[in-house]
Amino acid sequence: MKRLMTALILFSLVCLSLPGDDIDPPDADGVYFAREPSSMITADYTGNEIIFTEELRLMYRGSRNFVMATFSEGLVPGYDPRIARSFTGSELNYRLLHNQTQQVLMDLSAPDAEITFLADNALNILQSSSPNRWRYFSLFYTIVIPADQIVSGSGVHSDTYTISLYTRNNLNSFSGLELYDTIDVQINIHAAGIVQLSIVEAGASPDFTSTEYPMNLGELEPGTTGRADLIAKATTSYAISVESSNRGNMVHHQLKDNTILYTMKVDGNLVDLENQTQPIQIYSGQPPTGEEGRRYEIEVVVGEFSMTAPGDYQDHITFTVTAH
C-alpha cells in the first residue's frame, strides 16, 4: 500500500574508495553506518541559541536506489519540540532538523503527511557502473537548542532517540521498505543556572546590561519618596539579598558625620538596613521567572531630620541575586 508523504532529497557525498577511518563493510548487502556516529551528544546551555551539525557516515551496496534515515521520538512523545529532562523533572526543549530544508525530522510512526527524513538518491548514479561495490556517503542533520528557555532547575537534561537506516525502491512509496541498521543517541544538555537583575525607574522595561541605577530624590525634605523597580530574570530558583553601605543612612558628600536616615520597602515589606550586620536576604527559593522576569517594587522614604549641613547626601545599596 502506498503512503503519501512530504520529503525532500538531501545531497550526498559519494566516494568510491574506502576511507581509512571507515569500518570494514559486512558480508551482506544493505545500508549501514560506515563510521560509528556519536552515541552521546553533549552541550552546555547558558541561555543562548545553540546550533550544531551531526554527520551520519554511511555505506551501501545493493540493487535498491534509495536510502533513508529516520529519527524516532524521544523519551517524551512528540517530534517538535523534543524535550530533554533532568532527574528533578525540569525540561529543556531541543529540535532535530533536516540540514538543508530545516524541516522537523521524524520516523515512520508520524502521520504520513508529516514524515520528513534524511534521504539519498545518488546511489543510482553509480548503480550501473559498479553494482557490486560499496558506496560511501554522508548525510547531515542539525540540532537546535532554542535561546531564552526558562528551566525549573539547573543541571543535566537528557533525552534519547533512535536513528534507523532503510533502503527502498521508490522515493514516494514505503512498499518494500527494509531496515538494516539502527543506533540509539543520547543527548545531554547541561543547563547553567542563569540569573539576572535590573533596577529601573518604576514601570520601565528592564535593562540587564546595566549594573547601576541612580535614584535622585531631588531637594530633601522629611517624607521625600523615591520609587524604582527591581526586576529578576532567572532560569532556576534564586534568592535575593540587599545591603546598605551606610546602614540605611545617606551621608554628606564631604562631612561624613552628617547623615540622614531613610527607610526602604521592597514590595511593601520593610527592610531593616539600619541594624544590618551582613547582607539581608529578602527573598529565598523564588521560582524561575519566565521570559518577562519578575518585578519587585522598591520604595525609599526620607526620615525626619533637622539642622543638617547643606550639600549632597547619598548611600549605596547593593542587591545580589544568587542561583539555587
Q: Which amino acid is at 278?
A: Q
- Kindly state whether residues 42 and 118 are assigned to the same domain: yes
In a domain, 153, yes or no: yes
At residue 111 the predicted structure's pLDDT band, cuts being 50, 70 and 90, is confident
Contact 293, 253 (CB under 8 A): no
Question: d(Cα 84, Cα 19) in Å, to the nearest integer?
Answer: 35
At residue 193, the pLDDT reads 77
In a domain, 17, yes or no: no
Question: d(Cα 191, Cα 153) in Å, to the nearest integer?
Answer: 8
| Cell triple for 177 | 521498505
- Kindly state whether residues 45 and 152 are assigned to the same domain: yes
Task: Give 52-109 pLDDT, tens digit per residue.
Answer: 999 999 999 887 778 889 999 999 999 999 999 998 888 899 999 999 899 999 998 8
- Kindly state whether residues 276 and 128 are assigned to the same domain: no
Task: Burial-class residue 47 by CB neighbours within 10 Å (0-12, 13-18, 19+).
Answer: middle
At residue 129, the pLDDT reads 52
CB atoms within 10 A of CB 163: 25
CB atoms within 10 A of CB 240: 23
At residue 53, the pLDDT reads 94
- Kindly state whether residues 55 and 153 are assigned to the same domain: yes
- Kindly state whether residues 168 and 199 are assigned to the same domain: no
- Kindly state whether residues 178 and 299 are assigned to the same domain: no
- Residues of the domain holding 159: 30-191
In a domain, 303, yes or no: yes
Please give the tally of structural domains in the chain.
2
Task: Give 43-52 pLDDT, tens digit per residue.
Answer: 999 878 999 9
Contact 46, 149 (CB under 8 A): no
Task: Burial-class residue 282 by CB neighbours within 10 Å (0-12, 13-18, 19+).
Answer: middle
* HEC profile of the chain: CCCCCCCCCCCCCCECCCCCCCCCCCCCCEEEECCCCCCEEEEEECCCCEEEEEEEEEEEECCCCEEEEEECCCCCCCCCCEEEECCCCCEEEEEEEECCCCCECCCCCCCHHHCCCEEECCHHHHHCCCCCCCEEEEEEEEEEECCCCCCCCCEEEEEEEEEEEEEECCCCCCCCCEEEEEEEEEEEEEECCCEEEEEEECCCCCCCCCCCCCCCCCCCCCCCEEEEEEEEEECCCEEEEEEECCCCEEEECCCCCCEEEEEEEECCEEECCCCCCCCEEEEEEECCCCCCCEEEEEEEEECCCCCCCCCCEECCEEEEEEEC
- Kindly state whether residues 187 and 200 are assigned to the same domain: no
Q: Which of 191, 220, 254 is the last residue of a domain?
A: 191
Residues 6+ apart with CB under 8 A from 219: none
Question: d(Cα 201, Cα 205) in Å, to the nearest integer?
Answer: 8
At residue 15, the pLDDT reads 33
Residues 6+ apart with CB under 8 A from 49: 144, 145, 146, 147
| Cell triple for 152 | 525549573
Summarize the confidence of residues 14-19 as an average pLDDT.
37
Q: Which amino acid is at 264?
A: M
CATH code of residue 180: 2.60.40.2040
At residue 13 the predicted structure's pLDDT band, cuts being 50, 70 and 90, is very low
Q: Which of 41-50, 224-233, 260-269 has the lowest mean pLDDT?
A: 41-50
At residue 5 the predicted structure's pLDDT band, cuts being 50, 70 and 90, is very low
In a domain, 68, yes or no: yes
In a domain, 16, yes or no: no
| Cell triple for 301 | 522614604
The torsion region of residue 267 among left (phi > 0), alpha (psi -120 to 50) and beta comes to left
Task: Give 182-218 pLDDT, tens digit per residue.
Answer: 999 999 999 887 788 999 999 999 998 888 999 999 9
Residues 6+ apart with CB under 8 A from 123: 60, 64, 65, 66, 67, 135
Q: Which of 191, 212, 234 is the last residue of a domain?
A: 191
CATH code of residue 317: 2.60.40
In a domain, 186, yes or no: yes
Contact 117, 105 (CB under 8 A): yes
Summarize the confidence of residues 244-266 as an average pLDDT.
93
- Kindly state whether residues 210 and 170 are assigned to the same domain: no
Task: Give 131-168 pLDDT, tens digit per residue.
Answer: 678 888 889 999 999 987 877 677 899 999 999 999 88
- Kindly state whether residues 208 and 239 are assigned to the same domain: yes
pTM of the model: 0.66
- Kindly state whether residues 302 and 173 are assigned to the same domain: no
Q: Which of 161, 191, 221 is the last residue of a domain?
A: 191
- Kindly state whether residues 109 and 206 are assigned to the same domain: no
- The mean predicted confidence, pLDDT, of the chain is 85
In a domain, 24, yes or no: no
| Cell triple for 180 | 538494516
Q: Which of 87-91, 169-173, 267-271 has the lowest mean pLDDT?
A: 169-173
Q: Please check the confidence at residue 173 and state whether its pLDDT lies above 80.
A: no
- Kindly state whether residues 204 and 231 are assigned to the same domain: yes
Q: Which amino acid is at 321?
A: V
In a domain, 294, yes or no: yes
